[in-house]
Each structure stands twice: as structure tokens, then as C-alpha cells.
Amino acid sequence: MTQTLERMRRAVGGLLAGPRPQKEGAGLQEAPEDCLRQPLARPEEGRAARLLAAPRRWLQMMAGPPAWSDSPSLNLAGAIAGEVARLATVELEARVQGGPRAAYLDRQLQPVLAALRTQCEYAAGCGGVMMKPCVEGKRIAVDFALPGQFLPTAWDGRGNITGAVFVEQRTLGRACYTRLEHHRSTPEGYVVENRAFRAAAPGVLGRPVPLAEVPLWAGLTPRVVLTGPGGQGPAVPLFSYFKMPFANAADPGSPLGASVFARAEGLLAEADRQYGRLLWEYEGSELAVDASVGAVQAADGRYTMPRGRRRLFRELAVTGADGGDLYRVFSPAIRDESLLRGLDSLLKRIEFACCLSYGTLSDPQSVAKTAEEIRMSKQRSFAAVCDIQKALRTALEQLVAAMDACATLYGLAPAGEYQLALRFGDGITTDTATERSQMRLDCQAGAACWWEYRMKFYGECEAQARARAAEAREEQGR
């Protein structure tokens, strides 16, 4: 117990002030004890510091202003993440089908789907988001955690996270409390450990204290071993990580995903600089009237600009060629054409690097014109969105499996089978109405079955679709 407490303390102490080290190995990967005992004064040497460095940088770029920006920014990182999330979830529908267990799981899943668009945007921005079911009475709530709010402690050779520490912080008075919730699978079962720490200031973990010092945590058990009816722990972790399907070149050994704009960081910085040049060109070429001192001098000797035109007039200590007052209009030609072309070229490079179709960020008038060209330009974006949807499908399946395990462990619903039916739609590249009409013609011609039609467009499982199609045939036969 003491060893585990020390391990958790050292693991997350660096996460708060700069993360902890972790070393990779073959198969199940976990930080060895000697690494955990390294001093936290140099967090840049720690494995967890490298794990979280890139996601934190991507989140900062998404929130803005980015580190390179000393002028107004286009905030392209946030726009790219939002667009990718919209494309991936715009037609998402999900139902858990089956008996009473399935009905219970479906009720718990629907609030998750309502928040999924926002969480998918965060996942696209920082590479992934963690979903953790929490039992609250007779219901199962799902908490979402970004990198920094959780820390992977173990993962397999395929990069699937199998153990993690979740971090929650509360401030009571002048004290900052941190709760660590460690999930891991052991031979004795699935172990969940809770530890509380108190510090005088945020950014450090502090010393261990009882959970009861924070009223909200008073009902938590410090250590619980979860086992099912057969004495075995759940077959899946009680969390699910939605990971972007892109290579994490910033940290190849990390189990965390990569941002959708990770390959375009340099281009995003250059686009902001080009945008700053464009704004400066507009500001520098702003219409003005240079006036001599006498031209703006009133009868009483005071100098006044024409009312409502202070921005237009500029006072100069000069006179005209004949010695009289001078008015000279300053109106240079605006050189925005070349600057706009340069910015548009950068935006196209960003679209390519971020797997977006041309015209998403750049000027659509300068890209594809015909319907076929537009369709072909969307194929790159369509392939990336399909990969993201596959990753989201896997994450939701794992989440429902974790919720099912919680329902079994805590006796929340009758035992039974369930099936998760997901439908993402394909309106990104196809006209759904046209496709439905074409498939109805195929069904009428015998080239396709009506139950296939119901599965595709109604999101029903095969058994339910066959039953509904048979009912429809019986109704038509009467």
C-alpha cells in the first residue's frame, strides 16, 4: 500500500508542476520504480513531460493566442478542429438495442452523444479525449478528460491505454486539494485507488490527507477491487480513449493521439504573419490629409482638427510652396492583391497538411469549379473523416462496454445482451436523398433487400431491420 501511494504521488507530482517520467518497453508498458524516484526538479527529463508537451501546445494553439502571435491571429487551429468535428459528427446517430440491459445503457449513452460534438472538437485539437464512466446512484455519468487531466500509466503494444491516473482538483479556503484516481488491472481484479493531497498553492501535489477532508470526496473508498460474479475483474478498462487516427510525430512512442493540425504548425505561424502583413498594409495605406499648422489653427490661436475628422487629418510643421497653408492628400495604392494571393497559397498548403478539401479555408473561387472537380477535391477530407469516424466508433463501443461492466459490477440493470447501432451518414460526399431514391429502386428491382435499406438509412441492427421489413411486407399484403 505504501509503495503504491508513493508511486501515485511521484507519478502525478510531476504532472502538476511538470509531468513525471515513464519508460517504454515491450508489450505492457509501465514506468519502472527507479524512473519514478527521479527528482521532479527537472521535469523536462520525465516521460510524462514529453507525453503532455505536444497536447498542451496544441490546446494553446486552439484556444489562442498562439505562442508565435504578437498581432491579431486568424485562429486557424480552432477553426480547423471545429470543422473536422462538424464533418465527423454532423449526421451521427447512435442507439443501444436489445433487451432491458440495452435500454438502460441507451439512456446513459444519450447525454454523451449530446456533448460529443464539443468533445470531438477538443479531441481534434489536442489529439484525443478520455471518457470515464462514473456510477452516481442508479445512473452512469460520463466524465470527459483532456491530456493533463489524466495521465496514461500503462498501454499495450498497439498503443491502447490500459491504465491511467485521473486528476481532480478542488480549492477550499486557502488550501488546494488534489485527488488521484488510479485505474489498473491486476491478477486480483480491477483496482481503483483514490488518494487525496493538500498543498498551500496550486502547481504542487503536497502531502497526503484523508479523502474526508473534502466533503465531496468523503464517500469515496481509498482502494477497491472490482470483480464480477465469477470472481474476475471486467474484461475492459473502465474508461475509453478517443484517439485521433494520425501519427504522433511529436512523440512517436506516446499512446496519446496527434492533433489534426500537428503537421501544419509552421504553416499556421506563417499564415498569421502573412495576415499581419496584410493588416499592416491596410493600416499603412489608410487615407489621410496632411495639413500645415496654419491650416488647423483657429482664430484664437488654438490648434483644432475638423470635428469628426481627427483620424483623417494629420498636422505637419510644413507650408505650401508659396508660403501659404498646405493641404496634401495621402492616398497610396493598396498592395493587397499580392498579399492576398500569398495568404491564399498558405491556406491551401494548410488544407493539404490538415486533410481538408481545398476551399475549406482558402478562397473557393480559385479552386474546383465543376461538380466532379468539387467531388474529387472532397475525397481527401472524406478519407480523413472516415478514419476519425472509425476511431470514434471504436471509442464509443469501448465506452458502452465499460458502462455495461459498471452496470454488472454495481447491479444497475438486469443482465442481457446489447448491440450498439451507429450511423454516421455519408452526406459529406454524397447527396443522401439521391442515394435513398437509388437504393429504393434497387430494392424494387430485387438488387437489394429492404432490410438492408433500413439498416443503412434507419440505423437499425440486422435483426431489427429484418423484423421491421417483414412487418412492412405483411401490411402491404393485407
At residue 430, the pLDDT reads 57
Count other C-beta atoms under 10 Å from residue 200's C-beta.
9
Q: How far apart are CA 171 and CA 255, in angstroms?
A: 31
At residue 24, the pLDDT reads 33
Is 166:187 a contact under the CB 8 Å cutoff?
no
**pLDDT band for position 19 (cuts 50, 70, 90):** very low
pLDDT of 46 above 70: no
pTM: 0.76
- The angle formed by the CA atoms of residues 221, 223 and 228, to the nearest 5 degrees, is 95
Is 113:142 a contact under the CB 8 Å cutoff?
no
Q: What is the DSSP letter of 470?
A: H
Q: Taking residues 293-309, what's their average pLDDT?
A: 54
Q: Does the CA dihedral 194-200-206-207 come out positive or negative?
A: negative
Q: Taking residues 338-344, what's their average pLDDT?
A: 91
Count helices and strands (H / E) in the chain: 12, 15
At residue 389, the pLDDT reads 94
Q: Does the CA dihedral 385-116-242-126 come out positive or negative?
A: positive
Give the residue ranges of DSSP H helices in 93-143.
100-126
At residue 132, the pLDDT reads 95
At residue 232, the pLDDT reads 73
* 379: its cell numbers: 475525397
pLDDT of 128 above 90: yes
Comparing 10-24, 355-369, 413-427, 464-478, the range with the smallest average pLDDT is: 10-24
Q: What is the DSSP letter of 275?
A: H
**pLDDT band for position 116 (cuts 50, 70, 90):** very high
Q: How many Å is the Cα radius of gyration of the chain?
A: 30
Helix (H) or strand (E) holding 135: strand 128-136
With a CB cutoff of 8 Å and minimum separation 6, the contacts of 221 are: 194
Q: How far apart are CA 243 and CA 152, in angstroms?
A: 13
At residue 28, the pLDDT reads 33
Q: How far apart are CA 302 and CA 462, in angstroms?
A: 88
Report which listed range, 43-57, 63-77, 81-95, 413-427, is most confident: 81-95
